Amino acid sequence: MWISNEVKRGFPPDFKVKYRFFKKEEGGRKILPRQGYRSDFALEGDFLETGIELRVIHPEFEYENGEIIINETCSVLESGTARMWIMFPKAREERHIHDIKVGLKGYFMEGPNRVAEAEIIEIIGLFTNPRTE
């Protein structure tokens, strides 16, 4: 059974997205991931740079009712919402706090491949969560 990052880390997620995994024909995954999936994240604007530096921000998927998916053996929804966790507090202060805003488009990334599109729909703990390691 999945234990939420909020319980493990002791603070809320940084922000929330609505997402949609691309179908295989769109360049997406063959199968949907399960809770605990550790993709990287990129904002649309990151692709304007000449060498993209991926953001170590991991999703934690929700059921349709907004509760955390606790069954680690079932696939997550093809589209839905996810709580997003910046994994390095120092990066929150130095980079992410300045870039992440409601309405921005982003992607779940597997290496250089975009496997899901996302839109930031809510800022939660981005400005109050720890900023030092």
What is the spatial distance between Cα 24 and Cα 88, in angstroms, rounded to a whole number? 31
Is the entire prediction scored with pTM above 0.85? yes
CB 40, CB 54: distance < 8 Å: yes
Query: pLDDT 10s digit of each residue in the chain, 133 long?
Result: 999 999 999 999 999 999 999 999 998 999 999 999 999 999 988 877 666 777 899 999 999 999 999 999 999 999 999 999 999 999 998 889 999 999 999 999 998 899 999 999 999 999 999 988 7
pLDDT of residue 112: 87
